[in-house]
Structure 1
Amino acid sequence: MRYTPLVYSLLTATLAVSALPEKQRPLQNNLGPAMPPPPSDSPSTSDPSGGDTVILSDVLGNDRSINIFAGFTRDFATISQRFEDSALNTTILAPVNSAIMGLPRKPWEDPKDYDELGANAYEGGDGEERAQRNLRRFVEQHCVAASPWKEGEKLKTLAGDEIWWESKDGVKMIQPGKIEVSSVASRVHNGEVWILKGVRNYA
């Protein structure tokens, strides 16, 4: 059986459940006027004058549209620790769930592995290690070790690739690849979470 990380299956199931309509609840007339929820793209911010400092690890899991990618990041201690470190700034480029689910191959699959090792490339202990290595590279391709990140500024991802972003007609695009940024979900003390409509090249 080909290697499939448990988190991918669990998050896929979670995504399916979260898409189900909620049951209607009777109105209660002792709660006062209803208040609309905040916009989904309104950024979370740290409050310098307040008590605790909000950091990336506090907000990455808040948006259900990127919970698959958020789950992947938790598989790797060094990445999770970076998001928890208020002294290390990061811009997280989180693809939406639908972009990950629509990939022609899983984030931990590499065509080179199949070319060299065949269909059983991810079988057994060695195969699992290979898949974890590939998945880590996928996550690192979507993290830039800086924030704030200025337009046109060429920076390296945690995987070592050089990327930048540009704005056209008010839309942010990650280059190379012309990947559209749908929103900046969070701005916190040690970085930002950008939601991408697509996935960076991860081969």
Structure 2
Amino acid sequence: MDATPPALILASTSRYRRELLQRLRLPFEVQSPHVDETPLAHEPPAALALRLARAKAAAVADQRADAVVIGSDQVADLDGVPIGKPGTHERATAQLRSMSGRSVVFQTAVCVARRSTGFERTLLAAVTVRFRTLTDAEIERYLVAEAPYDCAGSAKSEALGIALLDAIESDDPTALVGLPLIRTCALLREAGLTLP
């Protein structure tokens, strides 16, 4: 039996996911999954996150059958409506205004796949974030300071965005940043990797 562990691949271009996965101190590659992230009509946020995590892992696993591939996706859920990455200052302002004084559930899915063994499993981590009641001036100061236009929900809890919040409730704290490491570790062990 070959003692060489399989290649580990993160099917993502997200720098946040890459930084989180580095915490595990496992060698890994990064490969773009080239997946269309457009929601389906009436698709609930949790279902969207699960579908996209699977699609990302599958897109790369289909090319590298013996590798262990991680796919992940996060969708902010405000009253059952998916909220994506704002992309612009104006959209981020609108998102933060809509979330002011409310709770948002960040649905973060992770899928680990290894085609050569037939392993594929997907888990979901839901993080409830309660936003403070925000003034327009607070929103503007935050957006100018941090420009979180590539983050679902327009706030980075791991940085200055924490000041916008009243509470975070989660059993997998890194899920809010974009990769639920507790669930990822469990799936990697199931897929046959040894973690430190």
Larger Rg: 1
More strand by share: 2
Fold conserved between structures, TM > 0.5: no
Give the shorter-chain TM-score range. Answer: under 0.3
Higher relative contact order (CA 8 A, sep 6+): 1
* TM-score of the superposed pair, with normalisation by structure 2: 0.24
